[in-house]
Amino acid sequence: MLYITIAMGVNNEELAIKMEKLQEYETRIRNERRFVDIKPYSHNIITLNLTMIEDLEIEGISGLDIIKKYNLDSLGW
């Protein structure tokens, strides 16, 4: 996954931590996506991870970007 971000007032260490968290959240979303409407709570797990991505406040990356990236809109997001 390649992301280009504009970091204003954020040091490299903080940005690296945020990017690591972003990858972790995306992995969870990717893993749970196939279980939507099959396993209980999979949609809740995805929604929580999308919220956590928004909370990272990384410039140029939002929950909407992840919804489009993983075609979650076809599943109701």
Q: Any idea where the domains of the chain sit in the sequence?
A: 12-75
Pull the structure tokens for residue 25: 């959240």
pTM, whole model, 2 decimals?
0.80
pLDDT band at 25; cut points 50, 70, 90? very high
At residue 15, does pLDDT exceed 70? yes
Q: Which residues contact 70 (CB under 8 A, 6 or more apart)?
A: 29, 30, 33
Give the CA dihedral 52, 53, 54, 60, nearest 10 degrees.
Answer: 170
